[in-house]
A and B are shown apart, each in its own frame.
Chain A
Amino acid sequence: MAGAVESELVSEDTSETEAVAAAAVGVAAILFALSLAALFELVTITDTLAGVPMVALLGALLLLLGLGVVGFGVGSRLGYVATNPRPSAGLVAAVAFSGIWFVVGGLVASQTFGLGTIGWGGVAFVTGGLAFAVTALPREDIGSTLPAGLLAVFAGAVFVTGLIGPGWVWDLGWEQSASFNAEFTIPVITAFCSLLVAWGAAKSYGGFGARGRHVGAYLLVYLNALSIIAVLFLLVAFTVFKGLPGLFNGLSFGLGTGPETTLFGFTFAWPLSWPFVMNGVALLNDVNGVLPAIAGTIWLVIGAVLFAVPLGVGAAVFITEYAEHGRFTQVVEIATNGLWSTPSIVFGLFGLAFLVPRLGNGKSLLAGMLTLGFMLLPLVVITSREAMLAVPDEYRDASAALGVTKWQTIRSIVLPAALPGIVTGIILGVGRIAGETAPILLTMSGSVAPPGSQTVDVIGGFQFISSPPFVENPELLQATSALPYQLYSLITAGVGQSSNIANIEQFRWATALILLVVVLGFYAVGIATRYYFRRKLQHE
């Protein structure tokens, strides 16, 4: 083969140059983490670290990294470092770098030097074209280090010289006076440049070529996954930190301290008093709570699941097992997919216009349950259908060959095998409806900050009456509150200020935290159920 490269089968011990490249990757990763922390205000860029201003420190690190990577690439080209580069860094890298340098050149020309459209356009095209040429034309070791390293050097120089300092603002001059300030710009630029340099350094560490590309891609994928997890973790942690103080206000333990509960005629007092989840909002409360909203949310989800799951699974059984595959099943499939993407406010309006007038002509818990049940229905149908289609036909054949009827096969073979998939669908659906605000607002919301006495008691609400249908439950037909709705009104609409809520800010965050806990609790129940059924199906 012409041009085939013979590389060592066994590479020697880690050389010093490899160690330098690895160190560069490490520093770049630290810098990336630091910039993310700065972006989420865990580190403030106006601070100083060991007497050095934060911005200068970031800049110096970038400068150092950029020079290191460029040095590595040039060293490799001149033969000081043993690597295994390809003839070119490739078209994808070239297009990406020319795009980046096009933007950088254009921004510098237009914003810093104030050139007009023709001026900045020219500069941008020149820098972009140069970056393309530098990436694509020379050997891979130059092409993948020089554009990345130079960008880091440039950004570092800007930070170190203070051209962009903590007080820097880029006023976009739009009507709402939108602007990019330093708190946002500096971390983003640092994170971006450190990613690029880390990629270049990782490629150098792998000695370019196929192995270098592998290491570079590996690093990008890992950093990406880690930063997503970090963002998720940060979101939850943020809510927890903000919510905890309000959540545990007035918490006390001890026999008989808690409120009394009557369950099946047996009355007992809770051994702890947790006002935030055991109280409503009332004038005489020491600490106000959200008990009515918690109860409302839980009953809402239970009601919606009880309504939607049997209907949805039944519909899925019909379309997968009984109906002829053809136009009809296609239409049902399109319709369910469409329903699932329908905005929740539309469901809310339907509930308000159709259900509310028919259910006692007032907003009620039942109307909310049904509306959310309608929202849940399409997802249950879609996922149950997928799960049933995934059950191998061999099971059905084997069952039929034993002389077992179709319905019994569905009940004892198909449904058990499909259960984990069905439960997954329900988990996803519950996650959506438990946090839904708009339909609740329209169909079941009562007072924003209801007192504890208005906590909905569905089980205790059933009572016998003398006329058909002989059982009624006024609790189901009363308006009540739910956590997302309460949170929405407390924050956006600003209600609740006048109520006897001592620290409204704490109260809001604690409500958000409780909502998060309730939704995650439903998740946990669902995942445990799925795990149980999956265990039953698999050989363990």
Chain B
Amino acid sequence: MTETTQSTDTEQAAESAQTSDIEMQRSGQPLEVTAGETREKTRDEWTDYEFEGDAKFAVEDLDVYYGDDHALKGVSMDIPENSVTALIGPSGCGKSTFLRCLNRMNDRIKAASVDGTVELDGQGIYQDGINLVELRKRVGMVFQSPNPFPKSIRDNISYGPRKHGDLETGFLANLLGRSDDEEVEELVEQSLTQAALWDEVKDRLDDNALGLSGGQQQRLCIARALATEPDVLLMDEPASALDPIATSKIEDLVHDLSEQYTVVIVTHNMQQAARISDQTAVFLTGGELVEYGDTEQVFEDPQSQRVEDYISGKFG
């Protein structure tokens, strides 16, 4: 059964490779592929993914340009709630760019321009009048390299809520009897416990966060993102700078978090994506979303020949 499907797939791929060759000659535009990659035309149905429940993010025809560079080409995908979505693909395929579109971190890059719609809970985040502070409170982010602030562990965790005005601390608050010191302690313990770091650091909350190991720093960054009580957690290769033990801790953590949060994770490591995610989106060279579906299906029975080649390690 599987074999038959695969052979059909190969035929289809060969067909589409021909079509794209013809197209290429006609339009004069070469299809962007790297060495070893099969030529084929991406089909819309490969990226259709049906799921039960609500979509947290609905992305429609998203294009991103860095100056003249077209980094993301017409990406449309719906991301289901309370699940782990993995974005995989070779370097420079636009998966981090896509992730950064979900909380508008691309705004911070001057050359970047974004076209298309992204809806969070049915509300467009690229429309006028959007409150970026509120958006980023709801959509937390963890970066590739651990980047705790040069402050104490406690201050790192409580930084977001304090700056949002949700918690009041400091001299004046103490003086006026409005200080939320107890709430801060609660928040710190809760966030660190969620990030599976509490037992390791509970006796040194006043120490500088830069004194923690790389894996601990990364979990601290996750705890810091959780402290603002987001709905969504975006992770940009959170384990790429960590050793295997720290990586497995982060993976377990991601798995636990998916019960309460919608997690979108970019990774280079395909085993990791297969282990931890519920659905997988494959971006390939040129900033195209080639295939999106249930993780099991994408890894075991990919519809696209290019995706199969990529997953089996023929290129990328």
Contacts and interface: CB of A to CB of B under 8 A. Distances in A.
B228 A412 contact: no
A412 B163 CA distance: 9
Interface in B146-201: 147-151, 159-160, 163-164
Interface stretch (B203-211, B268-276, B289-297): B203-211
B228 A403 contact: yes
A394 B136 contact: no
Given A401-B103, A403-B135, A403-B137, A408 B147 contact: no
A539 B147 contact: no
B265 interface: no
A379 to B, nearest CB: 25
B16 interface: no
A225 interface: no
A395 interface: yes
B225 interface: yes
B160 A402 contact: yes
B225 A401 contact: yes
Contact of A403 (B134, B147, B151, B221): B134
Interface in B108-129: 108
Given A397-B143, A538-B150, A402 B163 contact: yes
Nearest to B142: A401
A397 B108 contact: yes
B10 to A, nearest CB: 43
A400 interface: yes
B205 to A, nearest CB: 13
A408 B210 contact: no
Interface in A378-406: 392, 394-405
In this complex, the interface size class of chain A, counting residues with CB under 8 Å from chain B, is 20 to 34
Interface string B81-93: 0000000000000
A392 B210 CA distance: 14
B207 A394 contact: no
A405 B133 CA distance: 7
A395 B159 CA distance: 12
Given A403-B134, A403-B228, A395 B147 contact: yes
B247 interface: no
Given A394-B147, A417-B150, A537-B150, A400 B105 contact: yes
A403 B160 contact: yes
A266 B136 CA distance: 56
A531 to B, nearest CB: 15
A471 interface: no
B219 to A, nearest CB: 14
B147 A404 contact: no
B13 interface: no
Given A395-B149, A398-B221, A538 B163 contact: no
Contact of A397 (B105, B151, B160, B164): B105
Contacts of B64: none
B145 interface: yes
B41 interface: no
A311 B151 CA distance: 27
A395 B149 CA distance: 6
Interface string A354-369: 0000000000000000
A413 B140 CA distance: 18
B141 interface: yes
A401 B105 contact: yes
B224 interface: yes
Nearest to A409: B163
A401 B149 contact: no
B241 interface: no
Given A397-B108, A539-B207, 4 more contacts: A400-B108, A402-B224, A537-B150, A538-B210
Closest 5 A/B residue pairs (Cβ): A539-B211, A403-B136, A539-B208, A394-B147, A401-B141
